[in-house]
Amino acid sequence: MNHLTPAIMRLDPQQRLRLKAVMAEAFQSPEALQRYLAEKCMIHLGAISSPDAGTKANIAALIEAAENNQPMLDRLLDGLQLHPRASLKSIAAQVATERKAALMLQGLPVNAPLNALFLAQRVCFIGRDGLRDALHEMETRHSGIVVLVVSGNSACGKSYTYQLLRTLDQLKPDNIVAKIDFKDFVSGALAKRYQDIVEAINLRMEVPRARLPKGLTTEPKWFANCIQKFDLVAKNNQQLLWLVFDHVSTPGMLDSAMSEALARVLTYACDRSQNLRIVLIDMKPTDLLLLQEPHIRLRLGQDTAVLPGRDDIKAFLQKLGAQSGQQLAPTALDEAADKILADIAKVMPQKDAPYAYSTLTWLHAHELHLI
């Protein structure tokens, strides 16, 4: 079975940007950085970069070197958590925690990350077989489905769709997954909203700003041109680009201009692109008339998110048992599923439902020695 090697587990662009920014604030000179690294992290900066290059250049070189040397990255994050500056301690601890969660995914076969039972520490992904099937179909190069609409009631785990897709981004380099949460772009001038969404995508794509289309056309057209540019970069790199739009039906978000921009992207994805995949989370298909067009419907998949039921939990425990070699007897399996559901009922509705299912299933699986 082909498993991921540790060398692939690099920081994601957001982690890298946050770490660079806070380190630049904490270390005012290359000398201060060099001393701290030697004392707290057992890292010799002189072997990585020249102090004459400046603090920011040294930090960039340090992070790049650490990403290619996992023990060094661990020492760096551990050492930075000892720094007296609260913001640096916090970001180092956060990145270290996120990294440990990502490393859990190394136990997954690289050829099937969408079958993940866990997305991170204590985060179970239970059921959603229809979603997994749709994403598997979309992952093929010549998929008939290029747009997936994920709907469902409030607090039923719709946004976990993105968390599952992140396993592709983390474990299969030929997939790039970028999330655009419409909740973050409801207010502000329209042109600024388009620009912010493009920048959010480019955090993952890392296309030099000078290579992006100039904003000389109407905003929807400029936005669509940027998406086409990202698609071209993905094509040249032989990658699939997944654009995950969350909370699409947020009140006030899909105004006429934003609807036009999204319609342009969907039309381009369905009619012209082989590398673009669009996932629309928390969206009513009726909110965008284009989704009713015959040529779009042919390329459209739909998934309705629901909270796991008893059978979903049993199936999850069975799969986990098969992986761990600790299969439960049918009676024990029934008892475990009933106990999990009973414990969930005790904390509802005070707790977020998807979180409760995930956490309590994890705890019981751990008690049963399935983890």
Cβ neighbours, 10 Å, residue 111: 12
- Average pLDDT of the chain is 86
CA-nearest of 106, 53, 100, 50 to 77 is: 100
Span 89-110, average pLDDT = 73
Find the range with the poorest average confidence among 124-138, 243-257, 261-275, 303-317. 243-257
pLDDT of residue 135: 96
- Residue 65: pLDDT over 70: yes
pLDDT higher at 190 or 350: 190
Q: What is the pLDDT of residues 138-147, one digit of tens each?
A: 999 888 999 9
- Note whether 114 and 168 are within 8 A (CB): yes
pLDDT of residue 84: 93
- Residue 1: pLDDT over 50: no
Contacts of 362 (CB under 8 A, 6+ apart): 118, 122, 123, 124, 371
Q: What is the pLDDT of residues 225-258, one digit of tens each?
A: 999 999 999 999 999 999 999 988 877 677 777 7
Find the range with the poorest average confidence among 79-93, 157-171, 205-219, 301-315. 205-219
Q: How confident is the model at residue 9 (pLDDT cuts 50, 70, 90)?
A: low
pLDDT higher at 218 or 140: 140
Span 46-70, average pLDDT = 88
Q: What is the pLDDT of residues 12-42, one digit of tens each?
A: 777 888 899 999 999 999 999 999 999 999 9
Q: How confident is the model at residue 168 (pLDDT cuts 50, 70, 90)?
A: confident
User: How far is the C-alpha of 213 from the C-alpha of 36, rounded, in Å?
Assistant: 42
pLDDT of residue 306: 92
pLDDT of residue 32: 93
User: How far is the C-alpha of 347 from the C-alpha of 349, rounded, in Å?
Assistant: 6
Cβ neighbours, 10 Å, residue 256: 8
pLDDT of residue 371: 72
Cβ neighbours, 10 Å, residue 130: 14
pLDDT of residue 42: 93
CA dihedral 334, 319, 147, 203 (to 10 degrees): 120
What 72-80 contacts at long range (C-beta under 8 Å, 24+ apart), as own/partner pairs, is 72/43, 73/11, 73/99, 75/41, 75/42, 75/43, 76/37, 76/41, 76/43, 78/41, 79/36, 79/37, 79/40, 79/41, 79/42, 79/43, 80/23, 80/40, 80/41
Max avg pLDDT among 43-47, 131-135, 317-321: 131-135
Q: What is the DSSP string of 88-146?
A: HHHHHHHHHHHHHHHHHGGGSBTT-GGG-SEEETTEE----HHHHHHHHHHHSTT-S--
Phi, psi of 118 (to 5 degrees): -125, 140
Q: Which CATH class is domain 129-305?
A: alpha beta
- Residue 209: pLDDT over 90: no
